[in-house]
Amino acid sequence: MTDALIARAVQHLRAGELVAMPTETVYGLAADARNDDAVRKIFAAKGRPADHPLIVHLPHAGAMHEWARDVPEAALALAGKFWPGPLTLILPRARGVSDRVTGGQDSVGLRVPGHPLALALLSAFGSGLAAPSANRYGRISPTTAAHVQAEFDAGQIAMVLDGGPCSVGLESTILDLTRAEPAILRPGAIRADQIAEILGRAPGAPSAAAPRVPGALAAHYAPRTPLRLCEAEALGDELRAAHAAGSHCAVLLRSLSAQALAAPSHLRVMPAAADDYARELYAALREADAAGADLILLELPPRAAAWLAVLDRLQRAAHGSGSA
Ligand code: TXA
Ligand code: MG
């Protein structure tokens, strides 16, 4: 059954069509990274600006050399430790890697995803698949096949491979290895301290000189409903103020407090642990978005290292909603 689905997906990819595939982070919208016309379809489907580079997904670390040149020892060590997994390495691109994929930059993002279906697809395809998150530009990344279906019109995607809910739930950590100082461009499930252990030094934070990462634009990963982040202590006041103003609130809590029971139109208690929270976040935001509220109120998680990737996405999702 799975073999037949993979074979069909490979046929679509070889024909230059798009296939949505599950990964452990979020669902990706995949095309043959060696086929410019196919890659163009990704940008058209997402409504994404053409100069925003795509990650090339590989079946195994050995394929890195077909896509990157001057691969440093550090890249091999990191790939050995974290691939398949939620880490994207930015490396100098090899000759022949298309401007369509790299957005015209001299670097390329590479990752071996840690999902059995993605790996089966990549092995059967036998080459690199360019795949951004399978959402429309600027919206919330999909963590289920149903989320992907909801993002696109019939005919835009040849096939959606359903691999169940994503186990990580947030996009991969992006590490830039093209400069003297390795730098994290996007925080994810692989943390800076884990990377430092392999590199023997702490990676830097993004600098103004680093390549642009559209995921790093302030407003991104956003629900349609305004999102306000608030401290636990402020939640009761925020809810009362919203009610007084006649607003309907959807509330995403970390613990069930009496304050929060002031009859919001939608209430969800989020998991206490950071990795569980990350896994559920995008589905919870989509659900809150669909609740028909005027405002989503979200109780901020702790400002601790384990929560860095979650806090990063929350801040971006709230940006433009008149709150931090
Ligand atoms: O977990 C993930 O990374 C998911 C799954 C599908 O693999 N993919 C994903 O792709 O989040 P996307 O396109 O939504 O975000 C990839 C980010 C973009 O912000 C892009 O700018 C950055 O990676 N990127 C890709 N190639 C780059 C490069 N050569 N230099 C700098 N940034 C790059
Ligand atoms: Mg994305």
Q: What share of the chain is helix, strand, coil (3-state, %, to 5)?
A: 35, 20, 45
67-78: pLDDT as tens digits:
999 999 999 999
Question: Which residue would you say has higher pLDDT here, 208 or 310?
Answer: 310
Cis peptide preceding 84, ω within 30 of 0: yes
With a 6 Å cutoff on the Cβ, whether 174 touches ligand 1 is yes
DSSP letter string, 231-283: -GGGHHHHHHHHHHTT--EEEEESS--SGGGS--SEEEEPPSSHHHHHHHHHH
> What band does 322 get if pLDDT is binned at 50, 70 and 90?
very low
> What band does 236 get if pLDDT is binned at 50, 70 and 90?
confident
pLDDT of residue 235: 86
Q: Tell me the sheet residues that pair with 92.
A: 107
With a 6 Å cutoff on the Cβ, whether 128 touches ligand 1 is no
pLDDT of residue 242: 86
Residue of 105, 122, 136, 171 best suited for mutating to test ligand 1, as the one with most atoms within 8 Å of CB: 171
146-168: pLDDT as tens digits:
999 999 998 999 999 999 999 99
CA distance linking residue 62 with residue 122, whole number of Å: 13
Residue of 54, 55, 107 best suited for mutating to test ligand 1, as the one with most atoms within 8 Å of CB: 55
With a 6 Å cutoff on the Cβ, whether 109 touches ligand 1 is yes
For 273-290, b where at least 16 C-beta lie within 10 A, e where not — what string?
ebeebbbbbbbbbbbbbe
Q: In this model, does residue 22 exceed pLDDT 60?
A: yes
Q: In this model, does residue 264 exceed pLDDT 80?
A: no
State the average pLDDT over residues 20-41: 98
State the average pLDDT over residues 184-206: 94
pLDDT of residue 258: 58
pLDDT of residue 324: 36
Q: Tell me, in angstroms, the distance from the centre of ligand 2 to residue 278's CA.
A: 16
CB 83, CB 63: distance < 8 Å:
no
pLDDT of residue 186: 95
With a 6 Å cutoff on the Cβ, whether 87 touches ligand 1 is no
With a 6 Å cutoff on the Cβ, whether 28 touches ligand 1 is yes
pLDDT of residue 323: 40
| Structure token digits, residue 151 | 């993002």
Q: In this model, does residue 212 exceed pLDDT 80?
A: no
Residue located nearest, by CA, to atom 7 of ligand 1: 28
Q: Tell me, in angstroms, the distance from the centre of ligand 2 to residue 256's CA.
A: 32
Residue with tokens 């390795």: 182
Nearest to 204 by CA among 167, 245, 238, 176: 176
